[in-house]
Amino acid sequence: MPHVLLIEDDASVRDGMELVLRRHGYGVDTAATGEEALALLDSPGGGRIELAVLDLMLPGMNGFEVCRGIRARTATLPVIMLTARGDDHDIVTGLEAGADDYVVKPVTAPVLEARIRAALRRAEPSGRTRADAADHAGLVIDRAGLTVSKHGVTVPLPPTELRLLLELSASPGRVFSREQLLASVWDHTFLGDSRLVDAAVGRLRSKLEDVPARPRYVQTVRGFGYRFGPL
Amino acid sequence: MSGRSAESGRAGSAGRKRRLVGGLRTRLVVTFVVVALVSAVTATALAYRDARTAVLRRTQDAAVNDVRTRVTAVAADFDLPPDRRSLARFAAKVSDGLGARIVVARYQDLVAVSDSLADTEGRITAELRAAVRAGDGARFQRVEWRGEPYLVVGTPVTYADGDRRTSGLEVFVITDLRAERDDTEALLDSVRAGVLPVVVLAAVLALLAAGTVLRPVRKLGRATRGLAAGDLGSRVTVKGHDELADLARTFNDTADALQASDARLREQEARARRFVADVSHELRTPLAAMTMVATVLEEDADQLPPDAARAARTVGAETARLSRLVEDLMEISRFDAHAVRLNAAETDLADTVRGSLALRGWTDRVTTRLDEGVRAVVDRRRVDVIVANLVGNALRHGAPPVTVTLGTTATADGSWVTVAVADHGPGLSPEVRERVFDRFYKADAARTRGSDDDGGHGSGLGTAIALENARLHGGTIDVTEGPEGGAVFTLRLPLRRTGEEAR
């Protein structure tokens, strides 16, 4: 059973989500504050947690800080941001802090579940792994071991960014539209969530590129989308 | 905007031309010059008159005195009645003592002239002669003869025996006044020569004065234009204590007041917007909890007693409706706060429309006539919102078939992408058409058919949000009557391609 960590300060929302998730077979840990959540992750039981649903507005540490705290502990735990603030600015900030997805409150149970399932799917080892490591001008992508290293140094990537890189680098030079990437990486068909793609590309560049403002690996094709290379 | 500025630019240049003709500067210069001329001419005229009078009076007094003295002296040795020769001698004698003056002596019909060649009749008027004959001392008269001025002094010769009887002998002395006239005319000439520099000086002074007056006026004008253009921080520097400084101070006070009330209004508006945003935001958390719990209730509804099941379903539906209303309120408040941004990229519009319909499961219920290959720089998410709104409206309130037509049009103000959503319902009355984009406006019951999927929809903000989204693109939404009844909502967006983005 997948184990989800709910970080939400509002007791009713927390209870409601816990109720729904438990009914649908998820194991649920809850935390009312960011500090509590990080302590829980650090505790011996933290290892069973497979996904975090994180409220943005929390007393004490806010959601962005908690997200960065989680990313400092593990690169691979999927984080879904749950926000009552649906403004572009907040969503972008949340995504740039390292969240894999965002959900604006109020959210219906089926949508939340679908998003959790999609995030968990991304975290699973990709079934489409091919052969071995390929070297792209110093950037080595190991599709079997799901690791990425640059000039011999391992670059830890969260599942969403890793999947995005695998998707793009599978066909170097091919242009992917945001919608295509959204569908293949996030399993979303929701129009307009292309901010997810842009934010993930931004994070990926900050980790891979020498000069993120002039990217070499993940390039923008204005008006169309993104492509890997040409190097 | 550009049209208005071009218009004001034209008005401005015409105004400047008018200002050159009837402007303050011209008026000041003209006034200065006129005042200078009037003063110069008046002063000159007065001075000329006084000078002339003084010169003439001195000449006259001297002449009269000379004549009187001389005649008295000569007459003492003169016997009456004279004969022609003695009278001529008398005239010559008087003339001798008076220098180069013509002396005319008359005794009854006898006339003797010191200069026999001179014409005296024209210069000695009958009037003067009559006055002298009346016998009341010396008389004089200025006359103009052949264009030259002369002074004629006439005096009767009286007996020196105390009762001053007239002897009948009259003496007229003609003095040339050309020298005096030349003197006064020289004065006039010198004044006339001085008028031009005075006028020029007056003009220069006027220009300087106009400069000192006009500079602050122009600054004030600039500041006023700035204020009118929306720069509420526009102020002028107050210098001195004159009326212009007062005006500048008043302007600054007015601008202060305007800025203060503008700030107050903005503050109020911002507070109102914040309130809506805060309310919507605060509603989200309880709604989030309710939405979750309502799912559980709905899932279990089948196992509940009928009343409880209905209650559970109602709670679920109403929660969903409330969620949408809050979403719409948030969206509207974002538009009001100008916190929306266009994430535009070149997009295939037929694709977008199809995506919108497919996402909402409307593909089977809507007929489409989509031109392929129409690409424009738009925010796909916002176009999706508009299309979903218009089609949703048509499905809910109109009657099938609902048709979506995508095309392009070119008008005088550019090329447009058009998306027309037509239904075959009862259509909209003109009053409804006018208000259909108003917030929370609900069309009459005839159009609201209360179909099954109506629950949860129709917050009354949908069309308002669609219109805001269209305007954000620089587009519009119109609503018209369809050719066979029904309503046609037409979205028009500027057909911009990559590279001609307005951002």
pLDDT tens track for B332-377: 888 887 878 787 778 888 988 998 888 888 888 888 898 888 888 8
**Range scoring the smallest mean pLDDT among A117-131, A134-148, B477-491:** A117-131
Question: What average pLDDT score do residues B20-39 get?
Answer: 80
Q: The tokens of B457 are what?
A: 């929809």
Residue in chain A lying closest to B281 (CA)? A84
Question: How confident is the model at residue B45, as a pLDDT?
Answer: 83
Q: Answer whether residue A53 shows pLDDT above 90.
A: yes
Say which of B289, B295, B498 has its CB closest to residue A12: B289
DSSP 8-state code for residue B82: -
Question: What average pLDDT score do residues B154-170 get?
Answer: 73
- Is residue B280 within 8 angstroms of chain A, CB to CB? no
Q: Answer whether residue B4 shows pLDDT above 70.
A: no
Q: Residues of A with CB below 8 A from B338's CB?
A: none
**Per-residue model confidence as pLDDT tens digits over B481-503:** 888 778 899 999 988 776 544 44
Measured in angstroms, the CA of A214 and the nearest CA of chain B are apart by 20
Q: Answer whether residue A156 shows pLDDT above 70.
A: yes
Q: How confident is the model at residue B404 (pLDDT cuts 50, 70, 90)?
A: very high
Residue in chain B lying closest to A11 (CA)? B289
Q: Residues of A with CB below 8 A from B281's CB?
A: 84-85
Share of chain B above pLDDT 70, in %: 88
Question: How confident is the model at residue B447, as a pLDDT?
Answer: 46
Question: What average pLDDT score do residues B46-63 get?
Answer: 85
Looking at chain A, how many residues does it have? 231
Task: Enumerate residues 6+ apart whose C-beta is below 8 A from A133.
Answer: A140, A141, A142, A143, A144, A145
Number of neighbouring beta carbons within 10 Å of residue A119: 26
- Is residue A87 within 8 angstroms of chain B, CB to CB? yes
**Mutant choice from A6, A105, A194 vs B, greatest count of B C-beta within 10 A:** A105
Distance from C-alpha of B90 to C-alpha of B105, rounded to nearest angstrom: 8
Find the radius of gyration of the CA atoms of chain A: 18
- Is residue A25 within 8 angstroms of chain B, CB to CB? no
| A194/B346 Cβ within 8 A | no
| B290/A191 Cβ within 8 A | no
Residue in chain A lying closest to B355 (CA)? A191
Question: How confident is the model at residue B162, as a pLDDT?
Answer: 60
- Is residue A24 within 8 angstroms of chain B, CB to CB? no
Distance from C-alpha of B310 to C-alpha of B314, rounded to nearest angstrom: 6
| B320/A223 Cβ within 8 A | no
Looking at chain B, how many residues does it have? 503
CB-CB contact of B437 with B477 (8 Å): yes
Residue in chain B lying closest to A82 (CA)? B288
Largest Cα–Cα distance of chain B, in whole Å? Answer: 171
Q: How confident is the model at residue B253 (pLDDT cuts 50, 70, 90)?
A: very high
Question: How confident is the model at residue A38, as a pLDDT?
Answer: 92
Q: How confident is the model at residue B260 (pLDDT cuts 50, 70, 90)?
A: very high
Q: Answer whether residue B449 shows pLDDT above 50.
A: no
Distance from C-alpha of B428 to C-alpha of B486, rounded to nearest angstrom: 7
Pairing type for strands A51-55 and A79-83 reads parallel
CB-CB contact of B398 with B460 (8 Å): no
Question: How confident is the model at residue B3, as a pLDDT?
Answer: 44
Question: How confident is the model at residue B28, as a pLDDT?
Answer: 81
Measured in angstroms, the CA of A95 and the nearest CA of chain B are apart by 17
Cis peptide before A230 (omega within 30 of 0): yes
Q: How confident is the model at residue B136 (pLDDT cuts 50, 70, 90)?
A: confident
Question: How confident is the model at residue B16, as a pLDDT?
Answer: 56
| A108/B295 Cβ within 8 A | yes
| B355/A84 Cβ within 8 A | no
Give start and end residues of each alpha helix (H) in B410-473.
430-435, 462-472
**Strands of the sheet with A147-150, listed across from one edge:** A133-136, A139-142, A147-150, A153-154
| A192/B384 Cβ within 8 A | yes
Q: How confident is the model at residue B453 (pLDDT cuts 50, 70, 90)?
A: very low
Name the more confident of B163 and B153.
Answer: B153
Question: How confident is the model at residue A96, as a pLDDT?
Answer: 80
DSSP 8-state code for residue A126: P
Q: How wide is the angle at C-alpha B491 spanned by C-alphas B485 and B495, nearest 5°?
A: 140
Share of chain B above pLDDT 90, in %: 9
Q: Answer whether residue A52 shows pLDDT above 90.
A: yes
Q: Residues of A with CB below 8 A from B295's CB?
A: 20, 108-110
- pTM more than 0.90: no
Number of neighbouring beta carbons within 10 Å of residue A205: 20
Which residues share a beta bridge with B166?
A: B158
| A85/B289 Cβ within 8 A | no
Name the more confident of A195 and A77.
Answer: A77
CB-CB contact of A151 with A138 (8 Å): yes
| Residue showing tokens 């006039």 | B188
Distance from C-alpha of B490 to C-alpha of B478, rounded to nearest angstrom: 5
Question: What average pLDDT score do residues A189-204 get?
Answer: 77
- Is residue A86 within 8 angstroms of chain B, CB to CB? yes
CB-CB contact of B156 with B107 (8 Å): no
Query: Mean pLDDT for chain A?
Result: 84
Distance from C-alpha of A211 to C-alpha of B390, rounded to nearest angstrom: 45
Q: How confident is the model at residue A6 (pLDDT cuts 50, 70, 90)?
A: very high
Q: How far apart are the first and last CA of chain B?
A: 17
| B339/A110 Cβ within 8 A | no
CB-CB contact of A92 with A195 (8 Å): yes
**Strands of the sheet with B102-107, listed across from one edge:** B110-113, B102-107, B166-176, B148-158, B139-145
Distance from C-alpha of B67 to C-alpha of B139, rounded to nearest angstrom: 11
**Mutant choice from A80, A108, A176 vs B, greatest count of B C-beta within 10 A:** A108
Q: Answer whether residue B458 shows pLDDT above 70.
A: no
Report helix, strand or coil for B362: coil
| B323/A106 Cβ within 8 A | yes
Which amino acid is present at B230? G
- Is residue A173 within 8 angstroms of chain B, CB to CB? no
Measured in angstroms, the CA of B436 and the nearest CA of chain A are apart by 26
Question: What average pLDDT score do residues A99-108 get?
Answer: 85
Question: How confident is the model at residue B387, as a pLDDT?
Answer: 92
Name the more confident of B151 and A131.
Answer: B151
Name the more confident of B283 and A126.
Answer: B283
Can you list the pairs that B325-330 forms with residues at least 24 positions away whose Cβ atoms lie under 8 Å?
Answer: B325/B459, B325/B461, B326/A106, B326/B280, B326/B283, B326/B284, B326/B287, B327/A86, B328/B459, B328/B461, B328/B462, B328/B465, B329/B276, B329/B279, B329/B280, B329/B459, B329/B461, B330/A86, B330/B277, B330/B280, B330/B281
Q: Residues of A with CB below 8 A from B323's CB?
A: 106
| B292/A19 Cβ within 8 A | yes
- Closest by alpha carbon to B32, among B203, B179, B160? B203
Residue in chain B lying closest to A103 (CA)? B288
Give start and end residues of each alpha helix (H) in A53-208.
63-73, 88-96, 109-123, 159-170, 178-185, 194-208
